[in-house]
Amino acid sequence: MQSEGILRAAASIRAWPSNGLAKQISRRPKDGVKIAPSILAADFARLGIQVGEAGRAGADRIHVDVMDGHFVPNISMGAPIVASLRPITQLPLETHLMISDPDFFIEEFIGAGSDSFIVHWEGNNNLHRTVQSIRRRGKRVGVAINPATPAGVLEEILDDLDLVLVMTVNPGFGHQQFIHTTLPKITRVRQMIEHRNPACELEVDGGIDAATAGQAIDAGATVLVTGSAVFGSAEGVAAAMNLLRSSLRPVEQ
């Protein structure tokens, strides 16, 4: 089973040559790839402007990375940022909680305007309770797994999820290198989703740019989180979003 997944993912990688000429496009989601720019890489002095630019350039949701300096070795932002963004964008605000005690903060983020939550499998002794408490409050919920965490841990929770997030870097920082060994795992999660919960989204997060986006999508992802490739681009947010989308476009033969 495992080697089959690796072989299929390897075939997907081969189908995406580095010269950008995709000879064979597989696994492309029927309703299109969704893009979730991560504001971790934004210029916070111009946050509202940059989120507006991302929206006009076709972002599907805004990804908010919350870090507590404990679950990950970095501190980022909290609910006040969500509250500031809520009146200035109609895009869904997706809240990625990289914090030790997510249950303590769900209510505050909902009050601030979060539409959905991603909580980590790692370090949560009561993941089912966390997931159900988010669902009970009428919000979408996803579970994230780190690069070293096997896909199999999702088996007993997958039915309850709107989204799985496969981390393609170790969480905690933007602008890291995409970890290619996560590709076969993306394919394994895709197979589990098809089997158990086909409506569930499969998101990837970390090191996603015009070179890696196609690989993640061909492995089975449907949603791309991208921080520095969009907000850190010297060409601007709109040009960066266009570049990312055109890297996914099948080449006409």
Contact residues: Zn ion, CB under 5 A:
65, 96, 205
Q: Known catalytic residue: 101?
A: no
Residue 87's contacts (CB-CB under 8 Å, 6 or more residues apart) are none
Among all residues, whose Cβ is closest to ligand DX5? 227
Closest CA to 199 of 224, 154, 163, 152: 163
Minimum Å gap between C-beta 203 and Zn ion is: 9
**Residue whose CB is less far from ligand DX5, 61 or 63:** 63
Assign residue 35 a region: left if phi > 0, alpha if psi is -120 to 50, beta otherwise? Answer: beta
Q: Are 141 and 131 in contact (CB under 8 A)?
A: yes
Torsion of CA 98, 149, 134, 50, to 10 degrees: 40
Distance CA 147, CA 170 (A): 6
Minimum Å gap between C-beta 24 and ligand DX5 is: 27
**Residue whose CB is less far from ligand DX5, 202 or 225:** 225
Minimum Å gap between C-beta 53 and ligand DX5 is: 16
List interacting residues with ligand DX5 (CB under 6 A). 38, 40-41, 63, 65, 96, 169, 171-176, 205-208, 225-229
**Residue whose CB is less far from Zn ion, 201 or 205:** 205
CA gyration radius, the chain: 17
Q: Known catalytic residue: 68?
A: no
Among all residues, whose Cβ is closest to Zn ion? 96
Q: Catalytic amino acids? A: 65, 205
